[in-house]
Amino acid sequence: MPALRNMDALAAYEKLAALSRHPYDLSRSAPPPDRFASYLCRGAGFDLLYATQRVDGPVLAALQELADESGAVDQFLAMKKGAVLNRIEGYASEERQVLHTAMRDLFAGHPHAPEATSLAREELAKLEDFLAGLETGRVANERGEAFTDLVHIGIGGSDLGPRAVYLGLAAFRRPGRNVHFISNVDPDDAAAVIRGLDLSRTLVNVVSKSGTTLETLTNEELARAAFARAGLDPRRHFLAVTGQSSPMDNPERYLRSFYMFGFIGGRYSATSMVGAVMLGFALGYENFIEILRGASEMDTAAEERDIRQNPALLLALLGIWNRNFLGCPTVAILPYSQALIRFTAHLQQLDMESNGKSVNRQGQKIPYPTGPIVWGEPGTNGQHAFYQLIHQGTEIIPTELIGFRYNQYQEDTLIEGTTSQEKLMANLLAQSLALATGQESDNPNRRFAGNRPSAVLMADRLTPRTMGALLALYEAKVVFQGFVWNINSFDQEGVQLGKKLATRLLDHFGRCRQDAAYNGGMMDPAGWSLLQAAGVPARE
């Protein structure tokens, strides 16, 4: 693996800085047809169309040099083989391998990290046996009835990715299987889900690597109390996805336990047991395997060194060009698929928790911008909400538009000569072209400057296989950017400070509640004002 250096220490950095002074002008005219043909990158079922990015031959050549000099692909391969990349040199850090690809390597034919892949195989076998038990009735409720519902309790990476995939693949859900999600510690979140269920035919899947995640354990206890009130034994209904030997790895409390491992970060965990148990229940084992196959295909495509043949690497480098050289602080990810309604929310965590860093892997201050602000909603709804700012606002916002040539349910109709899916795709492509070329007008209010970069990711249809590939593409994009920026994309220290302060406040609340003065006597002024500010009642 190459020596770890800041991006601005690489020769390609100065070339790109010089090129960025006069970048390709998209607004001169409609991009020529040969540009669309040549600015196309394919991999794992996806086409990345980037003719509407502000790049040309010299810029792409310099981006290739940047990838080569930084050793982006070498680092990716080292990651897949189990190198300890979750670390900061010379400082206390997590010191972990990064092996979210290990589960998918089962389908690559040549596992890069055999030990981790073997652990993944064991968990998949446990899951296959459990799901078969649900099918045959070997796993059933107290009355021998099949389970129809599953409540997935988790937060952060234990919720966002799995939920995005479930919603994305709802069209492939098994009949009679419904999944519900509880993540927020707000008790109304749990109450709203639980009160509408037949608990006797419901499983609860609790996901926490440490077995100590406060929000998740709180929601679990709320759910357990509801089962107890219904006269049901929670042990017959509750599943655990947790670290081996964690407090939740307890057969006295859970019907089954599935393991997640320390070398898989939460936001990279949707294809591990974190997502597998819920997705296997909802979609069936074979459809979950298809997700893994698609992810494996994209993982393999990400090993390609030629950026024009590696969609994830190319998308990462285009993002670096826009962020570091064209000065764009944000990126909008806009799926033209209603099924991907929560996919951008997953990518917010994946990207912003990974690359929201201001020190490098040697613990030194980074002298250039790193992770962008990621946001977005599905089109065409977004066109009637925030696209005005994207087209005519004072900030240039690069966009990544995701589309599919065919719809999932294969139900559509002709209206005014075209189908709904054709209308959806026409809108996607029109937005990309409009952002690029703009519009001249004597009326300044109707003038569009154009020259606003976009890229289009297109596949035939959103299926389990393409969903897996899409997940893996963005995972690889994020880690490639981290490698080039020389930051650690695999820890999240910024999340911890708020947790520590919240724990201190909760300890304070608990002490006040136990204090005899709390129930009728005097309370210390500081404690009382703190409780008032937090809205905690003075008396029970």
The kind and range of the H/E element at 189 are helix 187-194
Which is the catalytic residue, given 14, 135, 221, 499? Answer: 499
How far is residue 248's CA from residue 211's CA, in Å, rounded to a whole number?
5
Distances (CA, A) of 320 to 116, 351, 371, 431: 31, 13, 9, 22
Q: Which residues contact 207 (CB under 8 A, 6 or more apart)?
A: 152, 153, 154, 158, 159, 162, 216, 241, 242, 260, 274
Residues 139/124, Cβ–Cβ less than 8 Å: no
3-state secondary structure of 87: coil
Cα-based torsion angle of the residue sequence 315, 317, 323, 328 in order, rounded to the nearest 10 degrees: -40
Residue burial 398-410, b: 16+ Cβ < 10 Å; e: rest: bbbbbbbeebbee
How far is residue 270's CA from residue 267's CA, in Å, rounded to a whole number?
7
Which is the catalytic residue, given 297, 353, 400, 475? Answer: 353
CA 36, 37, 41, 45 torsion-angle sign:
positive
Which is the catalytic residue, given 365, 384, 411, 416? Answer: 384
Task: Based on the residue annotation, tell me whether 499 is a catalytic residue of this protein.
Answer: yes
Task: Based on the residue annotation, tell me whether 384 is a catalytic residue of this protein.
Answer: yes
- Pick left, alpha or beta for residue 181 (phi over 0 → left; psi -120 to 50 → alpha; otherwise beta): beta
3-state secondary structure of 458: strand
Task: Give the DSSP per-residue string, 462-495.
Answer: --HHHHHHHHHHHHHHHHHHHHHHT--TT--HHH
- The 10 Å Cβ neighbour count of residue 32 is 10
Active site residues: 353, 384, 499
